[in-house]
A = this chain, B = another copy of it.
Amino acid sequence: MSQHRHPGAPGRAGAVPALPDLPEATVARLPEYLRALHALADTGHETVSSEGLANAAGVNSAKLRKDLSHLGSYGTRGVGYDVTLLIEQIESVLGLTQCRSVALVGVGNLGHALAGYDGFASRGFRIAALFDADPSRVGEEINGLVVRHVDDLARVAVEESISIGVIATPAPAAQAVADQLVAVGVTSILNFAPCVLSVPEGVDVRKVDLAIELQILSFHEHRKASLTALPGGLAATDTQEAIGT
């Protein structure tokens, strides 16, 4: 998880239509539900049960029902959920009704791929500008966008009304880029650089580190290897819980 502190919570916000104050874990799963729902809609389904949607999203059906219950009662007992209605609701909650403009900084190996990734556009995000610090890369055209120098960030960010910044630079440059993004008023950052960013309060940072995912897999692999290397195979249940502290 990343840094997420949302301070004003105790003072209940008054009469705003819907500020559901969703649990973080639920928010993290909503996009997955949304993807599954779109797939269902594309295959002609009009309604879906919690069981069916849970399977499509890879979660437990009870968890799914509790998650959806946090955004209101949009299901019909005995029937299920209306696919179209649920899509609208989730998109509304996630703030996807408006198309958000993304600035991508760092057009190296990874940044290049991100610039061409069509999963963003199909989910309502528009990559509005590309930046790099390397002058030899400035001017290059990627996917219909021209790479600009990072010094132009301030001007362009305002022009394009950027709401999310993506950092795909090498680690040493990431903090400086983050500072620039914050200075321009960006309050949401997706960081692919393998380093910790320090940002002022109110700015959300999410981190994606590809190497870390591999290391976590490595741990489980290592663990499984230790287990299968045991004498007697895995059915040997006579020795157990010998491990204390």
Binding site for B on A (CB under 8 A): 3-16, 19-22, 27-28, 30-32, 34-36, 56-58, 93-96, 100, 102, 109-110, 112-114, 116-117, 119-120, 122-123, 125, 163-164, 187-190, 194-196, 198-199, 201-202, 204, 206, 208-227, 230-232, 234, 236-245
Which B residues touch A164, using CB under 8 A? 214, 217-218, 221
Which B residues touch A190, using CB under 8 A? 213-214, 217
Contact B215 A30 (CB under 8 A): yes
CB A166 to nearest CB in B, in angstroms, measures 8
Chain B residue nearest to A202 in the complex (CB): B236
Q: How far does the alpha carbon of A116 sit from the alpha carbon of B244 in the complex, in Å?
A: 33
Q: How many copies does the complex hold?
A: 2
Contact B123 A211 (CB under 8 A): yes
Q: How far does the alpha carbon of A7 sit from the alpha carbon of B96 in the complex, in Å?
A: 38
Contact of A216 among B3, B31, B214 (CB under 8 A): B31
